[in-house]
A = this chain, B = another copy of it.
Amino acid sequence: MQPTELPGNAQLHQAQQRIKPYVFRTPLLRNDWLNEWAGADLWFKCENLQRVGAFKPRGAFNAVLQLSDEEKQHGVGTHSSGNHAQALSLVAKTLGIKAHIVMPENSPTSKIAGVRELGGEITFCEPTVEAREKTLRELLVQTGATYIPPYDHMDIITGQSTAGLEIFEELPDVDSILVPLGGGGLLSGTALAAKYNKPNCKVYGAEPLNVNDGARSMKSGELCINPPGSVTMADGLRTNLGRLPFEVMKLLVHDVLTAREETIAMAMELIWQRLKLVVEPSGALALAVFHEHRDLFKGQRVALILSGGNVDWDAVPFLK
């Protein structure tokens, strides 16, 4: 991808206007204790307080609102282990269309219930990438629904960029941003928002060490995948990096940093205990990575995106 092929700032701001009636402007919070602990000025962008408890409606609304009326009439479909499925179900419910959702049968209970409550029609499949894709292909053929991918689509990426736009509006002198990295939609969107609105702000991906395909991809310049069976408590980030987000990241992301499982658990507990916010393990990655790499950020003003808060109580590591 050439820099000239990237969406422009106008497109990001059009996305922001398009989705404005449908998403929350989430608060950007700070905390005395955490700042003292960090030796830096931390600002937390609370996408766990977004509708459906994660940033995902930003991209999903932006993509579906651009479909033709005829396309909308046939519904939308996706495969997702969680938050994107809830977001697409919310979009479909809001617009009065159908959402067909393929979910691996081992998805967290709270995320399955979330889709059901929003009227999404679930088809379960085996928890492999192949089974997800095959089941979805068949479903799309049967229904004529349009596939709305979780991250590997420029309308999704520009939709996710709006969280970053809000950060730069409220925190114009931010030095660095840490963004959880799974498929790469939120990270590449944030990097685009930074490119046009705060070009000297360093944008970092935050990834579990156990599923470090993003870090390896950035280092090698080639899209890497995680070995089958890789496990992390941060289930939302288990997915492989998408091709399109990776192309954007190569141009605009400063680095991808990783954190160990025990650091993720510790960061999650600090966010619950000190910030008084319920985040899922994936939502704690930015703080976990900050902690493992804190020398990089000493004395800086740092924004950390808390990407989501959908978690089953029995999956909370520090409550076991």
CB-CB < 8 A to A313: which residues of B?
318-319
Say whether, besides A33-B117, A117-B33, A276 and B309 are in contact (CB < 8 Å): yes
Interface 0/1 of A250-283, CB less than 8 Å to B: 0000000000000000000000110111110000
Q: Is the CB of A276 within 8 A of B319?
A: no
CB-CB < 8 A to A32: which residues of B?
51-52, 90
In the complex, what distance in Å separates the CA atom of A273 from the CA atom of B272? 12
User: In whole Å, how far is A282's beta carbon from the nearest beta carbon of chain B?
Assistant: 13
Q: Is the CB of B276 within 8 A of A48?
A: yes
User: In whole Å, how far is A187's beta carbon from the nearest beta carbon of chain B?
Assistant: 21
In the complex, what distance in Å separates the CA atom of A53 from the CA atom of B110? 27
User: In whole Å, how far is A296's beta carbon from the nearest beta carbon of chain B?
Assistant: 26
Contacts of A293-320 to chain B: CB distance below 8 A: 309, 313, 318-319
A27 within 8 A of B: yes
Contact of A278 among B27, B51, B117, B272 (CB under 8 A): B272
**Interface residue SS majority, chain A:** helix
**Residue on B with the closest CB to A318?**
B313
A178 within 8 A of B: no
User: In whole Å, how far is A143's beta carbon from the nearest beta carbon of chain B?
Assistant: 26
In the complex, what distance in Å separates the CA atom of A49 from the CA atom of B279? 14
The number of times this chain is found in the oligomer is: 2
In this complex, the interface size class of chain A, counting residues with CB under 8 Å from chain B, is: 20 to 34
**Residue on B with the closest CB to A314?**
B319
In the complex, what distance in Å separates the CA atom of A319 from the CA atom of B312? 11
Contact of A277 among B90, B278, B319 (CB under 8 A): B278
CB-CB < 8 A to A277: which residues of B?
49, 276-278
A29 within 8 A of B: yes
Contacts of A130-187 to chain B: CB distance below 8 A: none
CB-CB < 8 A to A278: which residues of B?
272-273, 276-278
CB-CB < 8 A to A276: which residues of B?
48-49, 53, 277-279, 309
In the complex, what distance in Å separates the CA atom of A24 from the CA atom of B90? 32
**Residue on B with the closest CB to A52?**
B32
In the complex, what distance in Å separates the CA atom of A51 from the CA atom of B318? 24
CB-CB < 8 A to A49: which residues of B?
27, 29, 275-277
In the complex, what distance in Å separates the CA atom of A90 from the CA atom of B90? 42
Identify the A interface with B (CB < 8 A).
24, 27, 29, 32-33, 48-49, 51-53, 90, 110, 117, 272-273, 275-279, 309, 313, 318-319
Closest 9 CB pairs of A and B: A276-B309, A276-B278, A27-B27, A48-B276, A272-B278, A319-B319, A53-B276, A49-B276, A313-B319
